[in-house]
Amino acid sequence: MAARNGKGSLSGRVVAVTGGGKGIGRAIVLAAAAEGASVAVAYHDSETGAKEVADLVRGHGLEAEVFACDVTDREQVFSFIRGAEKRFGRIDGLINNAGVMPDSPFLEMTAGEWDRVIATNLTSAFHASQAVLPGMLERGKGAIVNVASRLGLVGWPGVAHYASAKAGVIALAKSISREFGQRGIRANCVAPGVTNTDMGRMVMQGEVGRRRMAELPLGRFGEPGEVADCVVYLLSDASSLLIGQTLNPNSGGLMP
């Protein structure tokens, strides 16, 4: 698997990805490996996908390991991080990518639905970051990237829980950066717009998709690999001055 930019910007590093078996997470695994990283892939309901993407990485002479992990369970998240550290010796970069986005009108949303979405999209990032930071701080260097969403910046009807969680991971990255930046830790976010994944295709179809497309100056939706390239950039030394920031690969649908 050749490096995309020919420089191997993550050569010799180890990255851990939650929700790495499909969609944007899968693309992040492949993009990180393409830049020379070893990859720890956490999955919940996508075991086949996680094993397939790990095999792709290994097939190009790079290292990958898969870990079953329900990110809503703090003990399982810590077990994933500890397992990855034991397998690879350390974790240089963490990508908090796992997420769900059910459609729930606000006045019909149950407390259970709210709690599940917040736990999956936001609290999981807290658990994983808290688990990985001691090792990063000991080495004096580390990068955390949270996968947020355009909806976390603008809000959206029917997904108040999702938008709130994604706004939360943006604030989480800023808070981690302010607390640990002087000790070598950089935490940043990517906030994609509609992206061509299983989740994104639910929005891309029909009249809703046509309306959303009309909002995009670029004239097309994003691809998972394009979001993954932004994540790899934030993991690499090329983004050494970016801390507490949010990149917006959204085809121009939001220009903050």
Domain assignment present for 216: no
- Rounded mean pLDDT, 116-142: 98
Query: 206 lies in a domain?
Result: no
pLDDT of residue 204: 63
Lowest mean pLDDT of 15-19, 134-138, 217-221, name the range.
217-221
What is the rounded radius of gyration, in angstroms, for the C-alpha atoms of the chain?
Answer: 17
What share of the chain has pLDDT > 70, as a percent?
Answer: 93
Helices 124-139, 74-88: inter-axial angle, 10-degree rounding:
30
Residue 60 has pLDDT above 70, yes or no: yes
In this structure, what token pair is assigned to residue 147? 């996968």
CA distance 246 to 242: 9
Indicate the burial class of 205 (C-beta count within 10 angstroms; 0-12, 13-18, 19 or more). exposed
Residue 212 lies in a domain: no
The pLDDT, as a whole number, for residue 213 is 79
Residues 23-54 have pLDDT tens digits of 999 999 999 999 999 999 999 999 999 999 99
Task: Tell me if 63 is assigned to some domain.
Answer: yes
Asked if the model's pLDDT at residue 231 lies above 90, the reply is: yes
Which residues have a Cβ under 8 Å from the Cβ of 234 and sit 6 or more positions away?
A: 143, 145, 186, 188, 190, 242, 247
pLDDT for residue 6 is more than 50: no
When pLDDT is averaged across residues 95-120 and rounded to a whole number, the result is: 97
CA distance 113 to 190: 25
> 256 lies in a domain?
no
Q: Which residues contact 143 (CB under 8 A, 6 or more apart)?
A: 92, 93, 94, 185, 186, 187, 188, 234, 235
The CATH number that applies at residue 48 is: 3.40.50.720
Mean pLDDT value of segment 94-112: 96
Tell whether 104 is covered by a domain.
Answer: yes
pLDDT band, residue 221 (cuts 50/70/90): confident
For residue 213, being part of any structural domain is answered with no
Exposed, middle or buried, 105 (CB in 10 Å: 0-12/13-18/19+)?
exposed
Confidence at residue 3, expressed as pLDDT on a 0 to 100 scale: 47
Q: How far apart are CA 209 and CA 146, in angstroms?
A: 26
Q: How many domains does the chain have?
A: 1
- In sequence order, the 6+-apart residues with CB closer than 8 A to the CB of 198 are 22, 23
- How many CB atoms sit inside 10 A of residue 103's CB? 11
Residue 15 has pLDDT above 50, yes or no: yes
pLDDT digits (tens, 9 = 90+) for 158-208: 999 999 999 999 999 999 999 999 999 999 999 998 887 767 667 767 666
For the cut 60, the answer to whether the pLDDT of residue 5 exceeds it is no
Residue 3 lies in a domain: no
> Which CA distances in Å does 16 have to 19, 97, 115, 174?
10, 10, 25, 20
188 against 1, higher pLDDT: 188
What average pLDDT is seen over the chain?
93
Which domain does 98 fall in, by range? Answer: 14-197+223-246
Catalytic residues: 162
